[in-house]
């Protein structure tokens, strides 16, 4: 398979590397030339522009920050839809709103291409290990075709429903993640303020009813867990500004469906306040500092 891969950031870079390891021919493009160079050193073809990247591609994968980037990449005069030269399977893995996903999907189908939205869960560690969860929305045929490619990057492949359903499922999950990360930080700081060791407290909660993914895989308190952003100055990982984007998507979706999401709304306010402390590009587990007495 000849795959064109767009967006080589914290997630896209290790994802593209896993496609290479699986033996695919991968052509990569990012606005940042250094990101392209990093992948060419691992065996990818580097492209200088969108046209070169998509020529003869069987599959296009995009992993961009937000909806505005995705729309521009596909619909701009010099975008992907202007340059595809054969019928292509398009997989957008970015987390964006379901409506934009459907717009891109409709554009693809009108031009004779198949499309699925396939946002991911699992973080940079999952992207690196090739154990991501892909949450797909789209026609069954396209989803079945995509599975062969996505299995090189992920361990769990779900078909959530029609086009856009992957995005709805993803933002429900990330709203819960924001609540869990804030709640875990709050509990750990309460323990610290009362003289407990956060490592001991984490071990207790891991074996108790407060156990959750953030404690298992992504402890927010520095020094408790190795190889997570909190033990690396909150660098790498999933940026606060991207969590705020996802919480806005969740709140917009909640408003549109008349759902009650008070915990999500509280998490959104916490993350907004947190971002005002110059933390936009830190990992989202830095919400822990929001509770700390010294921050
Ligand atoms: P990132 O900001 O690290 O990377 C995005 C990359 O896209 C950057 O390298 C940027 O230069 C590139 N880009 C932007 N516009 C482009 C264009 N028009 N053409 C080519 N490249 C372009 O972001 P990330 O953390 O990799 O996240 C990507 C997406 O995945 C986001 O939607 C995010 O919400 C989602 N996500 C992230 C994580 C995580 O842990 N980081 C986990 C799950 C989902």
pLDDT tens-digit series, residues 232-262: 999 999 999 999 999 999 999 999 999 999 9
Indicate whether 282 and 185 sit together in one domain.
yes
Indicate whether 201 and 238 sit together in one domain.
yes
Mean pLDDT of 112-133: 97
What pLDDT does residue 294 have? 61
Q: Is 120 in the pocket of ligand 1 (CB under 6 A)?
A: yes
Domain boundary among 101, 133, 161: 161
Ligand 1 geometric centre to CA of 125 (Å): 15
Residue 247 CA, chain-centre distance (Å), reads: 13
Cβ atoms within 10 Å of 134's Cβ, excluding its own? 28
Domain boundary among 134, 161, 188: 161
Ligand 1 geometric centre to CA of 64 (Å): 4
Mean pLDDT of 112-127: 96
pLDDT mean across residues, the chain: 97
Domain boundary among 161, 178, 202: 161
Q: Is 12 in the pocket of ligand 1 (CB under 6 A)?
A: yes
pLDDT for 293 beyond 90: no
Q: What one-character DSSP code corresponds to residue 279?
A: T
- Catalytic site residues? 170
Domain count, the chain: 2
Q: 3-state SS of the chain?
A: CEEEEECCCCCHHHHHHHHHHCCCEEEEECCCHHHHHHHHCCCCEECCCHHHHHCCCCEEEECCCCHHHHHHHHHCCCCHHHHCCCCCEEEECCCCCHHHHHHHHHHHHHCCCEEEECCEECHHHHHHHCCEEEEEECCHHHHHHHHHHHCCCEEEEEEEECCCHHHHHHHHHHHHHHHHHHHHHHHHHHHHHCCCCHHHHHHHHHCCCCCCHHHHHCCCCCCCCCCCHHHHCCCCCCEHHHHHHHHHHHHHHHHHHCCCCHHHHHHHHHHHHHHCCCCCCCEHHHHHHHHCCCC
Mean pLDDT of 58-63: 98
What pLDDT does residue 292 have? 87
Please, which pLDDT band fits residue 167 given cuts at 50, 70 and 90?
Answer: very high
Indicate whether 64 and 209 sit together in one domain.
no
Q: Which residue, by CA, sits nearest to atom 8 of ligand 1?
A: 9
Indicate whether 153 and 178 sit together in one domain.
no
Mutate to test the pocket of ligand 1, among 4, 6, 10 (most ligand atoms within 8 A of CB): 10
**pTM of model > 0.90:** yes
Which of ligand 1's atoms lies nearest the C-alpha of 13? 26
| CA distances (Å), origin 293, targets 86, 240, 289, 290 | 58, 20, 8, 8
Mean pLDDT of 107-115: 96
What is the domain-level CATH number for residue 271?
A: 1.10.1040.10
pLDDT for 140 beyond 70: yes
Mean pLDDT of 39-65: 97
Mean pLDDT of 64-71: 98
This model of the complex carries an ipTM of: 0.99
Indicate whether 116 and 174 sit together in one domain.
no
Q: Is 3 in the pocket of ligand 1 (CB under 6 A)?
A: no
Indicate whether 128 and 259 sit together in one domain.
no
Mean pLDDT of 95-123: 97
Q: Is 30 in the pocket of ligand 1 (CB under 6 A)?
A: yes
Ligand 1 geometric centre to CA of 203 (Å): 33
> Which percentage of the chain shows pLDDT scores above 90?
98
Indicate whether 136 and 178 sit together in one domain.
no
User: Nearest-5° angle of CA 83, CA 88, CA 90?
Assistant: 95
Which of ligand 1's atoms lies nearest the C-alpha of 246? 34
Indicate whether 30 and 103 sit together in one domain.
yes
Indicate whether 264 and 199 sit together in one domain.
yes
Q: Is 6 helix (H, G, I), strand (E, B) or coil?
A: strand
Q: Which residue, by CA, sits nearest to atom 14 of ligand 1?
A: 64
What is the domain-level CATH number for residue 90?
A: 3.40.50.720
Question: Looking up tokens 């959104």, which residue turns up?
Answer: 268
Q: Is 46 in the pocket of ligand 1 (CB under 6 A)?
A: no
Which of ligand 1's atoms lies nearest the C-alpha of 124? 40
Indicate whether 151 and 6 sit together in one domain.
yes
Which of ligand 1's atoms lies nearest the C-alpha of 119? 44
Indicate whether 154 and 172 sit together in one domain.
no
Q: Is 32 in the pocket of ligand 1 (CB under 6 A)?
A: yes
CB contact set of 43 (below 8 Å; sequence gap of 6+): 20, 26
Indicate whether 14 and 150 sit together in one domain.
yes
Domain containing residue 187: 168-291
> Which percentage of the chain shows pLDDT scores above 70?
99
Ligand 1 geometric centre to CA of 63 (Å): 5
Q: What one-character DSSP code corresponds to residue 161?
A: E
Mean pLDDT of 122-137: 97
């Amino acid at each position: 398979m000849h795959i064109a891969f767009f967006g080589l950031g914290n997630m896209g870079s290790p994802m593209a590397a896993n496609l290479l390891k699986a033996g695919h021919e991968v052509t990569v493009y990012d606005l940042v030339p250094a990101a392209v160079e990093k992948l060419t050193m691992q065996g990818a073809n580097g492209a200088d522009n969108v046209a070169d990247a998509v020529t003869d591609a069987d599959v296009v994968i995009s992993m961009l920050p937000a909806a505005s980037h995705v729309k521009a990449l596909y619909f701009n005069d010099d975008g992907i839809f202007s340059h595809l030269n054969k019928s292509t399977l398009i997989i957008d893995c970015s987390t964006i709103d379901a409506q934009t996903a459907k717009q891109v999907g409709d554009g693809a189908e009108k031009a004779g291409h198949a499309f699925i939205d396939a946002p991911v869960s699992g973080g940079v560690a999952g992207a690196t290990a090739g154990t991501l969860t892909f949450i797909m929305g789209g026609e069954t045929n396209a989803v079945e075709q995509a599975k062969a490619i996505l299995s090189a990057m992920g361990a769990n492949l779900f078909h959530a429903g029609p086009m856009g359903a992957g995005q709805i499922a993803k933002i429900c999950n990330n709203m819960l993640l924001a609540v869990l990360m804030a709640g875990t930080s709050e509990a750990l700081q309460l323990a610290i303020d009362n003289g407990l060791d956060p490592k001991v407290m984490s071990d207790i909660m891991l074996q108790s009813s407060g156990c959750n993914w953030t404690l298992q895989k992504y402890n927010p308190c520095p020094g408790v867990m190795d190889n997570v952003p909190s033990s690396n100055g909150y660098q790498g990982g999933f940026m606060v500004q991207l969590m705020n984007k996802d919480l806005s998507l969740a709140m917009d979706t909640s408003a549109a469906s008349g759902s009650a999401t008070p915990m999500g709304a509280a998490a959104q306010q916490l993350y907004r306040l947190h971002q005002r402390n110059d933390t936009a590009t830190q990992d989202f587990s830095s919400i822990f500092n929001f509770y700390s007495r010294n921050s």
